[in-house]
Amino acid sequence: MEGSLEGKAIIVTGAGGGIGRDSSRLFAAAGARLMLADIGEQGLLETQEAIRADGFDADIVIVDVGAEDSVRNMVAQTIARHGRLDGAFNNAAVEQAGKALTDISLAEWEKSLRVDLTGVFLCLKHQIPAMLQNGGGSIVNTSSSIANAAIPNCAEYISAKTGVLGLTRAAAAEYGNQNIRVNAILPGIIRTPMVQRLLDDPQIQVVFERSRERHLVGRFGEPSEVGELAKWLLSDASSFVHGASIPVDGGVGINGG
């Protein structure tokens, strides 16, 4: 999918692996000036090294997206380094507990919502004012295909990712007339290290395999396939797309979830 990011200063949260890493490599190749953000330094360094091996470069910052001071610092570091903020891919997430609703502890519930929902809220809260300073920008939030459906043992994740859709629409409605575009991507099951760890649980593996059979393309997705859509949404090529929630799910969303 085409879309130049030449010269655009872009934050990527959850950049230390999976969708965030592959997307960051695509963004760098499209000309973006990147601030890679994640809670773990090692993953960030590995993503930075991969980008440099591709012939490009990127900066890194440690961030806890559930902590407002940390998010504020992430945005400030980006502006200090690049002088502006043009785009953001809010992609940070935590692994789900993989338990029935009644077995989820309050701590597990709060951990999921803190990162997957509050983290997106805090990113929007601090990214939007920074973008307004230079006339606008584009934000892409990672939700999930199960925000429009449901599978067992994912109550906290489904709740958080459904909330991301609401935040996306609310932000688009409030700031669209100020040249801030906010859209959401709804990945299906994507082959990331996080998903692979979940597949090591036999009970979850059964659920995922049933889901794979409902993917119209008969397979799970690759991180770069999500990244290509994110790249386009961050680019000026998608300038008429506001408040959208776009599946990247191999058709599972229209075939029983």
Q: What is the CATH number of the domain that holds 152?
A: 3.40.50.720
Please check whether residue 205 lies inside any domain of the structure: no
Between 43-57, 92-106, 112-126, the lowest mean confidence (pLDDT) is in 92-106
Give residue 36's pLDDT: 99
Strands 137-142 and 33-38: what pairing?
A: unpaired
209 within domain boundaries: no
Q: What whole-number percentage of the chain has pLDDT above 70? A: 90
Over residues 67-79, the mean pLDDT reads 99
Q: Are 119 and 163 in contact (CB under 8 A)?
A: no
* Cβ 241 vs Cβ 210: under 8 Å: no
Band of the pLDDT at 5, cuts 50, 70, 90?
very high
Arithmetic mean of pLDDT over the chain: 92
Establish if 76 belongs to a structural domain.
yes
In a domain, 256, yes or no: no
Checking if the pLDDT of 211 tops 70, the result is no
- pLDDT of 148: 86
Active-site residue set: 157
Burial of 219 (0-12, 13-18, 19+ CB in 10 A): exposed
CA distances to 90, 208, 239 from 242, rounded to whole Å, are 16, 31, 8
pLDDT at 174 over 80: yes
Is residue 188 scored above 80 in pLDDT? Answer: yes
pLDDT of residue 47: 99
Instruction: Say what the pLDDT of residue 207 is.
Output: 63
For residues 137 and 232, give the distance between their C-alpha atoms in angstroms, rounded to a whole number: 13
Please determine, for residue 128, whether its predicted confidence score (pLDDT) is greater than 80: yes
Give the total number of structural domains in the chain.
1
- Specify the pLDDT at position 38: 99
Checking if the pLDDT of 256 tops 70, the result is: no
Residue with tokens 């090591």: 200
Q: Is residue 232 part of a domain?
A: yes
Is residue 211 domain-resident?
Answer: no
Would residue 220 be called left, alpha or beta, if left means φ above 0 and alpha means ψ between -120 and 50 degrees?
Answer: beta
Q: In what order do the strands lie in the sheet with 33-38?
A: 59-62, 33-38, 9-13, 87-90, 137-142, 180-187, 245-248
Q: Which among 78, 162, 63 has a CA at the least distance from the CA of 119?
A: 63
pLDDT band (50, 70, 90) for residue 8:
very high
79 lies in which domain range?
9-190+223-247
- The pLDDT of residue 249 is above 90: no
pLDDT at 133 over 90: yes
